[in-house]
Every structure is written in C-alpha cells, then in structure tokens.
Amino acid sequence: MSSGRMRRLGAWLSERAGLGLLAERFGCDRRGRAGLEKRLGSAALLLFLVLAGTGALLALHYQPAAEQAQASLRRLDGAVPFGQLVRRGHCWASHLFVLVLGAQLLVRLASRSYRGDGELEWLAGLGVVGLGLGITFTGTVLPWSLEAQAGARVAGSLASEVPWLGSWLRRCVLGDDTLTASTLPRMAALHLALLPAALVLLAAAQALFGWARRSRWVEPARSAAPARTPAERAALWVALLLLLLVMVLLVRPGLGTPGELPLPTPPSARPTWVFAWLHGLLRLTPRSLLGLSGTATIVVGGLGVVGLAALLPFVDRRGSRATIGLACGALASFLGLTAYGLLA
Amino acid sequence: MIQDGQDPNARLAPRREMLDYAVSGLAALLGLGALYPVARLLAPLPGPTVRSVSLGPVSAFAAGSARSALFGSRPIVAIRAADGSFRAFGAECTHLGCIVHYVPARDRLECACHGGRFGADGRVLAGPPRRPLESLRIDVVDGEVMVGRA
C-alpha cells in the first residue's frame, strides 16, 4: 500500500473513531506538549493493555485454588501452545509497568507538575502507583509457591501493624487470621478484577483532571507547533514492544518452589525487585525503634510518607525546587535499599 | 394557590431544598449502609478453633528430629530432643509470620525470611523478632504424640 493511501486510511480512521479529537482534547497532538511525563503515561497505557490482554489469556488456564494453582501454571508453561510466551510477556510487562509508573511519579515530583490546580491529578497519580504496586504484589502470590506464600504472610503481618485497622486489614489480605487456602482466591480476585478496575477508573479520572487543568491554562506559543505524525506517535510504543520482546525471549520468569503448608519457608524466599527495598528495610530495622517494634515503625513511617506526599500540592503551592532534591533522594534511597534487599 | 405578583419558583424553593436534603441524606444512608456488609465480607471471621492434633506414633518420631503439621490453619513444629523429650511451637515467626524450620546441627529454629533465630525452647536468639515462638502443649497419649494449646 502506498504512503498516500496509508495516510488517507489513517485520516479516515482518525476521523470516524474520533482519535484526533481525543488526542486534541487530552493535549497530545502538538509537538512539545508531550513531555517526558506524557510519554511515560503513554508507555504505561501500552503496558497496561499488554497486561490486560495477556492476563485475560492466562486466566483461561490458571486455576486459583491452593492445590491446583502451581500445577496449572506448570501445565501452561509446558503443555499449552505459546502458554509460556504469554506468561513471560505478562510477567515482564508487569515489571516494566511498575518501572514506568515509578519513573512517572519521580518526574512529576521533580518537575513540580502538581502546580497550577493540579492537586487532584497528583492525588489520582499517587493512587494509580499504589494500585499498580498492589496488582504486582497480588500477581506474585498467584503461583502459590512457598516463596509466594511467604510474601503473602509478610504482607498480612505488615497490614496487621496499621494502627486501629490492623487485624481487619490482615483478614482482608489473608481471608483469615493466618495464611490459608482461602487466601489464594482472594488474591486472584484482587489481581484479576478489583484492583485493575480501580486502576482504570483512577487513571481515567487522572486524565480527566489533567485535561480540565490544561483547558484552563492556554499556551499559545506551544500550540502553534506542528502536529506529530502517526509514525512519531507510534515510535515509543514500537520501541517498548521491541524491548518487551527481547526480555520475553531472553529471560524465563521462575515459578518458585512448589509446596503446601506446613512446609517451612525456603531460603530462596526473596521478593521481586519491586519490593526488594522493603525487604532490605525490614532486615536493616532494629527490633525496637522510637518505642514501637521495628516493623510497626516502618508501617507507621510509610503511612506518614504517603500522607505527606498526598499533602504536597496543598503545602507547596508555588512549587519549590527542593522537590528535585527530594526526587533524587527518593531514587537514591530506593536503589540503595533495593540493592541491599537483593543481596542480603 | 398562586397570588398575583408572587414568583412561584420562590414559593417552591424551600420545598425543593428540603427535597434535596432528603434525597441526599437517603443516598448517603444507603451508601454507608452498603459499606458495613462490604467491610464484613472483605474480612471474614477466623475459622473454627482446634483443640488438639496428632503427630503420629512416638516410635516414628526419631530423637533429634522435628516434625511440621497444621494446628487448624496454623503451622506448628514439634521437636524431639536427643534425650527423648518433646517440645512444640507455633511455626510462624513472630517477626512477620514466615514459617521457621528446625536445624538439628545447631539445635535451633531459623526463619529464612529476615534472619530470625530461636532456641529449641522457643526464645529469641537473634534477628528482628521481639517475642518468643508461641509455646504449645505436647503429650503422649496411648503411644501417640498429641499437640494442644498450652
């Protein structure tokens, strides 16, 4: 097909499906407006679509029951045509998804993009990152290996340290006061339906808040920039898909050690890199700190940090440049604790 | 009846306002009412409690070894010391709930998650746990090793 026909087909599709209108509404049609933050948002959207597609395919074979979960995934890897490929794609897309969400949050913090009535957008963005972490965590429990069970136990214990709501939250996470066979269906329901649905709603709200904010702020100099071509728009997605393909072909994610209760937690029980910083922090924290147990201090401190982050746009209305240092400090702490957590 | 010179909208405004309050209040009540069953459904009550559990015949339990079992839904570990005596503990590490394992060479219980170490009597030896392992009662009844609540 010639390039002229391709262009006409693209224009037809754009007009009928309203794609051009959407792009114009959400402010990504002009060169220069799509900064790093928006490119990361676009990458997150693509990765979420990959996760939703591969996740739906995996759900056709995965059995969320304690006795069958591990076996169903091993069957998927070994006997189902292209099953392992789809599982690899889902797994590595989830790693990239969290990476992109984290990078987007840091860029927002460093660029102080919450300025100019961006409070709701910032809060929704924080919620999206939290839900992304929740989806990743619940996904790591689904193979129901001994390592996955240990992860769920640790999460339940951390939840129980939340002031006032602790025991209720632990039962929310585990389905009981301790890890039981009923924990797995709960994790599956959270991973497959509840958390992704909440993420879609919150991400849509974030986009809406962003559009409403931009529509109040007119940028005449930038709006005169030439429109991006379809190839320019697609370049990021194509590059990301290629990266994902390389990861899928090169690295096979493990399924952990199969086993049921009451087998002891194996020494290989280490969280994925996404939560390795927390593992490092838990190992580093002393038994008692500030009058509380070390674990309770971490949980209360973590809640405090999230609360401060949520208040940031209300406190720092002008956008202090100190946030650049804050973002660098957060990144350095994350990297240091992650390295320690992986090596400890 | 509407009299001359009176704005009908102004007359109806208090009624409309009251209706707004009533509908908003009802909606809030329905929303709050739905929260309670959702909160209870999310966090069910714990399962039935168990009084005791058998670990099999004494003859099958070698000295200097340990055995794991489920006490209801909780994992437990029982140790038979070199002198033939028994001890039983809840196997969940008191730090963050990972399951400890017995190391016969060191005669202690270790947690692989965050490095918690417990003596064969359940006391904390090292690592982040603050409390000892939960101690359980262990008896031999008709040649069978039985574990129950202390």
Given a cut of 90, is residue A5 above it in pLDDT?
Answer: no
User: Cβ of A154 and B42 within 8 Å?
Assistant: no
**Residues near B117 by beta carbon (within 8 Å), at least 6 away in sequence:** B108, B109, B110, B111, B124, B125, B126, B127
Task: Find the CB nearest B114 among A156, A263, A282.
Answer: A282
Confidence grade of residue A225 (pLDDT, cut at 50, 70, 90): low
User: Cβ of A287 and B46 within 8 Å?
Assistant: no
Dihedral (Cα; A28, A29, A30, A32), 10-degree rounding = 20
pTM listed for this prediction: 0.87
pLDDT at position A56 is 97
- Residue-wise DSSP of A243-265: HHHHHHHH-PPP------TTSPP
Per the rule left: phi > 0, alpha: psi between -120 and 50, beta: everything else, A143 is alpha
CA distance A234 to A218: 26
Classify residue A291 as exposed, middle or buried by CB count within 10 Å of its CB (0-12, 13-18, 19+).
exposed
Mean pLDDT of chain A: 88
Nearest to B61 by CA among B125, B2, B140: B140
Beta bridge partners of B117: B110, B126
Tokens (6 digits) for A236 = 């990021």
Confidence grade of residue A134 (pLDDT, cut at 50, 70, 90): very high
pLDDT at position A184 is 95
**Residues near B109 by beta carbon (within 8 Å), at least 6 away in sequence:** B77, B89, B100, B101, B102, B103, B117, B118, B119, B120, B122, B133
Task: Find the CB nearest A153 among B76, B97, B129.
Answer: B97
Tokens (6 digits) for A138 = 């619940």
- Residue-wise DSSP of A54-75: HHHHHHTT---STTTHHHHHHH
Task: Find the CB nearest B112 among A169, A175, A265.
Answer: A265
Confirm if A338 and A274 have CB atoms less than 8 A apart: no
pLDDT at position A28 is 46
Q: Higher model confidence: residue A274 or residue A115?
A: A274
**Residues near B136 by beta carbon (within 8 Å), at least 6 away in sequence:** B71, B76, B88, B89, B90, B147, B148, B149, B150
Q: Is B65 on the interface with A (CB under 8 A)?
A: no
User: Cβ of A178 and B92 within 8 Å?
Assistant: yes
Q: Is B44 on the interface with A (CB under 8 A)?
A: yes
CA distance A179 to B53: 19
**Residues near A195 by beta carbon (within 8 Å), at least 6 away in sequence:** A131, A134, A135, A138
Q: Is B82 on the interface with A (CB under 8 A)?
A: no
CA distance B43 to A141: 19
Q: Which residue of A has its CA nearest to B48?
A: A176
Query: Quick one: average pLDDT of A56-68?
Result: 96
pLDDT at position A20 is 63
User: Model confidence over A137-189: pLDDT tens digits?
Assistant: 999 999 999 999 999 999 999 999 999 999 999 999 999 889 998 999 999 99
Percent of chain A scoring above 70 in pLDDT: 90
User: Cβ of B98 and A265 within 8 Å?
Assistant: yes
Given a cut of 60, is residue A24 above it in pLDDT?
Answer: no
Secondary structure class of B99 (helix, strand, coil): strand
Beta bridge partners of B92: B99
Q: Which residue of A has its CA nearest to B45?
A: A176
With beta carbons under 8 A apart, name residues in chain A contacting B111: 265
Confirm if B132 and B122 have CB atoms less than 8 A apart: yes
Tokens (6 digits) for A255 = 């399924």
Given a cut of 60, is residue A220 above it in pLDDT?
Answer: no
pLDDT < 70 regions, chain B: 1-6
